[in-house]
Amino acid sequence: MWVGLLLAVLVLGGCGGSSQSQAEKWADNACTSIGDWRQALSTTTSDLTTKAQNGTLNLNELKSGLNSALNDTKKLVNDLRDVGPPNTEAGKEARQKLDDVTSTVESSIDTARSKAQSAGSLPAAIGAVAPDLTQAAANVTSQLQQISQLDPKGELGKAIDDTKSCQDLRK
């Protein structure tokens, strides 16, 4: 009888289960959003690269791909805004860093789109936009590293290190 009662208390009380801390929930949500964005950009880039290598890419397709990248980036910005700041000592600073990097990335992709639209030829457009797109992805990864080092208690760093969606970003 005692064993049954103990098991019932453990199950109903949630003991022994694995629940995420607030920092882990935040890291998981933020990294999932970033991972989804990176995957979308990777797909767009891969499609454009394949068409370019096959000689079938035209300027309108490049512009369309950049519009898609800009829309994906806007979705990332909205997703990260929805996540809010992590509930840690350095939460507000982490939030500010994410806001800064998403603004920078959005601007980079918008700049790339503008360069493609004003380019007179496909090679000129590709040459003009490639650095902006490469820098955009690098900025997000770099900022996530900086965020992991903000929290003096190490909550954010540990959460980012321990959360699968954040680990996947390092691959």
Confirm whether 124 is domain-assigned. Answer: yes
Q: Output the DSSP codes for the chain.
A: -HHHHHHHHHHHHTTT-----HHHHHHHHHHHHHHHHHHHHHHHHHHHHHHHHHT---HHHHHHHHHHHHHHHHHHHHHHHHH---SSTTHHHHHHHHHHHHHHHHHHHHHHHHHHHH-SSHHHHHHHHHHHHHHHHHHHHHHHHHHHTT-TTSHHHHHHHH-HHHHHHT-
pLDDT in tens, 91-100: 888 888 888 8
Domains held by the chain: number: 1
pLDDT in tens, 75-108: 988 898 888 888 888 888 888 888 888 888 888 8
Confirm whether 29 is domain-assigned. Answer: yes
Confirm whether 138 is domain-assigned. Answer: yes
pLDDT for residue 9 is more than 60? no
Confirm whether 8 is domain-assigned. Answer: no
Comparing 3-7, 13-17, 58-62, the range with the smallest average pLDDT is 3-7
pLDDT in tens, 129-145: 777 777 777 777 788 77
Confirm whether 144 is domain-assigned. Answer: yes
Confirm whether 15 is domain-assigned. Answer: no
Domain boundaries, position 78: 21-169
Confirm whether 6 is domain-assigned. Answer: no
For the full predicted model, state whether its pTM sits above 0.85. no
